[in-house]
Amino acid sequence: MKSKLPTDRTAAATAALALLAALLFPMSAPVAAAPAASNPPTAEEAARFLEQAEAELLRLWIARERASWVQSTYITEDTEILVAQANEATIAATMRLARAATRFDGLDLAAEPARKLQLLKTALTLPAPSDDAARAELTQIAAELEGMYGRGKFCPPAGGDCLDLGQLSEILATSRDPAQLEMAWRGWHDTARPMREKYLRFVELANAGARELGFADLGALWRSKYDMPADDFVTELDRLWSQVRPLYEQLHCYVRARLAKAYGADAVPAGQPIPAHLLGNMWAQQWGNVYDLVAPADVVDPGFVLTERLQAKGYDEREMVRSGERFFTSLGLAPLPETFWTRSQFTKPRDRDVVCHASAWSVDWEEDLRIKMCIQINEEDFNTIHHELGHNFYQRAHNTRSPLFRDGANDGFHEALGDTIALSVTPKYLVRTGLIDAEPPAAADIALLLRQALDKVAFLPFGLTIDKWRWGVFSGAIPPERYNQAWWDLKRQYQGVAPPGARSESDFDPGAKYHVPGNVPYMRYFLAHILQYQFHRALAATAGETGPLHRASIYGSTAAGARLEQMMLMGSSRPWPDALEALTGEREMDASTILDYFAPLSAWLSVQNEGQACGW
C-alpha cells in the first residue's frame, strides 16, 4: 500500500514544480497589443506590432523550453501538466498574434517586416482552436502522447524484467535470432496501441486550429513553411526522390539477397518487401546494424570498427561529446558555454523516466545550450552527437538575430548542418584524432560506402513516409479506419518493407515512432539527407579537398568554418535559396550530389545484383 505521506524527494519535487509553475505562468503577463482596426494599417504600426509580438513570444518560448526540459528529463503527471500549460500559453498567444498579423496583408512593407509577418503566420507546428477548452484539451493530449511514448515498456509474457526502447533497440541491433527480433519489434510497436484514440482527437483539434489560420488542414500549414506554394513543395519532394530512388532500389535489392542467405528464402522472399524486424532498427529507417550480415566477402575490409575503437580508447559519454565539440572548434567556432556541460543530459538516469530520443536545446534562446541523450559508446551515437551539436552551434549563431529570425533557413537546414559535419568523420579525420592509426587503402572504399549507405541511403524513403502518412491523415484522405493499413501501404510503396506478421486497425504502429506522438514534422529529415551532401561538397571544396568526395574531411579548415558560419548567422532572415547560395553558390536543392558521392558503390551494386529479381 502506498503511503499517503510524501517522501522527501517527492515533497521537494512538488515544491519545485509549484515554484516552476509560478515562474512560468504569472497571473498577469504582458501581452502584445492587438493592432487597432479602425484606421488603415501603416508600416509604422506593423513595426510596433512586430516589436511587441517578438518580445511576448520570446518570453513564452523560453518558458515553454524550460517546462519541456523538465518534462523530458523527469516524466511525471505533474510535469506533463506543466508542459501542457506552457504549450497552451504559447499556442494561444501565437494564434492571437497570427490572426492579428493578417491586418497587414497587402501592405507594402520592406522585406524584413514582411518576412517576419509571414513567419509569424506559419510559426506553429501545433495550432489550436481559439476556444479555451479546446485549446487546453489539445495541449494536454499532446503532452500525454509524448509522455506515453517516453514511458513505453514491453513486459515479456513469460516473465522477467520489462524492457524499454533502448533495450529493445539493442536486441534489434545485435540479435540474429528471428524469433527474438520479432518479439522485440512487436513488443515496442504494441506499446503505441493506447495512443490511437487520443491521436484521433488530436488530429481533429489541430486541424481546427490550422483552419482558423486560413489553412485547409495541419499538413497544408506545415507545407507552407518552405518559401514556395504548398503544392509546389510536394512537387519538389517528388523531384528529389526521383533522383535518388534508383540508388535506393539497388541497395534494397542487394540487402534483401544477403538477408535471404542469412535467414532463408522463406523468411526473406525474392521480389517481396523485406520484413522490417530483420533490418537492425526498430523502424527499418537505417540498416547499418546488419552490416555484418550483408558485408561483401570479396572487397577489402576497412580494418576497423569505430564502435570498437571508441571503446578501446576508453571513451565515456562526456568524451564522446567533447570529441564532437572539438570538431566544431577546429573550424574556428567558439567552444560551447560551460553551462552546456553542467545542464545537459548525457546518460539515462536510473531513478526516473526520461525521453531518451536525442535532441538539442537552446533553453533561453541565447546561450543556454544543451543536448539530451542517453549516450551509448558506439558509432551511431558518435555520429548522433555531431548531429545534435550542429543544432547547438547553429542555434548560437542565429540567436544573435531578432526572435522571429532565430531559426534555420528552413527546418531541413538545421537537421543537415550537424550531419554535414558527420560526413567529415572519415578515416582521414579518425587518423588525425588518434582513433585509428592509418587510413584504409582505396580498395576499402566499397565497404566504407556500403556502411554509410545502409544508414544514409536507406533512410531516404523513410524520411518521406512519415509525413506522407500524416498529410493524408490531416487532410482526411486517410480515414481513422485505415490509419494502420495506410501506414504499411506507404512503407511498402516507398521503403519496400513489411511488418513481420499481420497488423490490424487495433494497432497504431505510427505511434511507435517518436515524431508522431511528439508532433515533430519529419520532412525536414528527408531534406537534410539531400542538403548535407550538397553542403559537404561545397565545404570540402572550400577546405581545398581535391580527392574523392567520400574521403574528404573539413576538420581543421577555418575557411570552411567561416563559410558555414556566414550561412548560420543568417538564421531564417532570408528565404532558404539565399542561405543555400551563401554556402554552396547554388539556389536549388540537388540530390545528384548523393549519386556522385556513392558512384563507386552504385557501380558495384549493379554488378552484385545481376540476375536478381529487384523491386517489390
> Does 398 participate in catalysis according to the annotation?
no
Q: pLDDT at position 12, please?
A: 38
| 368 touches 360 (CB < 8 A) | no
Cell of 414: 538545421
Cα 510 from chain centroid? 15
| 480 touches 486 (CB < 8 A) | no
Q: What percent of the chain has pLDDT over 90?
A: 82
Catalytic-labelled residue, pool 525, 533, 555, 597: 525
| Structure confidence by residue, pLDDT tens digits, 424-481 | 999 999 999 999 999 999 889 999 999 999 999 999 999 999 999 999 999 999 999 9
Query: How far apart are the C-alpha atoms of 272 and 513, rounded to whole Å?
Result: 24
| 150 touches 355 (CB < 8 A) | yes
Beta strand 153-154 pairing with 359-362: unpaired
| 186 touches 202 (CB < 8 A) | no
Catalytic-labelled residue, pool 387, 529, 536, 550: 387
The residue among 278 and 7 whose pLDDT is bigger is 278
Catalytic-labelled residue, pool 100, 134, 216, 515: 515
Cα distances from 104 to residues 99, 117, 228, 503, in angstroms, run 10, 8, 20, 50
Query: How far apart are the C-alpha atoms of 616 and 614, rounded to whole Å?
Result: 7
Q: Span 159-181, mean pLDDT?
A: 94
Handedness of CA 248, 250, 253, 254 (dihedral sign): negative
| Structure confidence by residue, pLDDT tens digits, 339-354 | 999 999 999 998 888 8
> Does 391 participate in catalysis according to the annotation?
yes
Q: pLDDT at position 38, please?
A: 65
Please state the domain extents for the chain: 43-152+191-215, 306-450+523-601
In 487-538, at which residue ranges do the beta strands (DSSP E only) sit?
Answer: 497-498
| Structure confidence by residue, pLDDT tens digits, 374-433 | 999 998 899 899 989 999 999 999 999 999 999 999 999 998 998 999 899 999 999 999
Q: 487 pLDDT exceeds 80?
A: yes
Task: With cut-offs at 50, 70 and 90, classify the pLDDT of residue 29.
Answer: very low
Q: 296 pLDDT exceeds 60?
A: yes
Cα distances from 432 to residues 11, 270, 325, 427, 553, in angstroms, run 51, 44, 15, 9, 10
Mean pLDDT of the chain: 91
| Structure confidence by residue, pLDDT tens digits, 582-613 | 999 999 999 999 999 999 999 999 999 999 98
Helices in 103-177 by DSSP H: which ranges? Answer: 111-121, 132-151, 165-174
| 187 touches 180 (CB < 8 A) | no
Handedness of CA 380, 384, 385, 387 (dihedral sign): positive
| 226 touches 576 (CB < 8 A) | yes
Query: How far apart are the C-alpha atoms of 561 and 568, rounded to whole Å?
Result: 10
Q: 136 pLDDT exceeds 50?
A: yes
Least trusted range by pLDDT, from 126-135, 170-179, 466-475, 537-546:
126-135
Cell of 607: 554488378
Chain position carrying cell 543536448: 371
> Does 248 participate in catalysis according to the annotation?
no
> Does 477 participate in catalysis according to the annotation?
no
Q: Span 279-297, mean pLDDT?
A: 94
In this prediction the pTM is: 0.86
Burial class (CB in 10 A: 0-12, 13-18, 19+), 1: exposed
Catalytic-labelled residue, pool 277, 386, 391, 536: 391
> Does 515 participate in catalysis according to the annotation?
yes
Q: Pseudo-torsion of CA 56, 59, 60, 64, nearest 10°?
A: 170
| 3-state class percentages of the chain: helix first, strand second, coil last, to nearest 5 | 60, 5, 35
If we measure between CA atoms, which residue out of 306, 326, 318 comes closest to residue 344? Answer: 318
Query: How far apart are the C-alpha atoms of 225 and 221, rounded to whole Å?
Result: 7
Catalytic-labelled residue, pool 189, 252, 277, 357: 357
Catalytic-labelled residue, pool 257, 276, 358, 591: 358
Q: pLDDT at position 22, please?
A: 43
Catalytic-labelled residue, pool 137, 325, 388, 545: 388
Catalytic-labelled residue, pool 54, 144, 325, 415: 415
> Does 415 participate in catalysis according to the annotation?
yes
Q: pLDDT at position 39, please?
A: 84
Query: How far apart are the C-alpha atoms of 455 and 212, rounded to whole Å?
Result: 40
Q: 34 pLDDT exceeds 60?
A: no
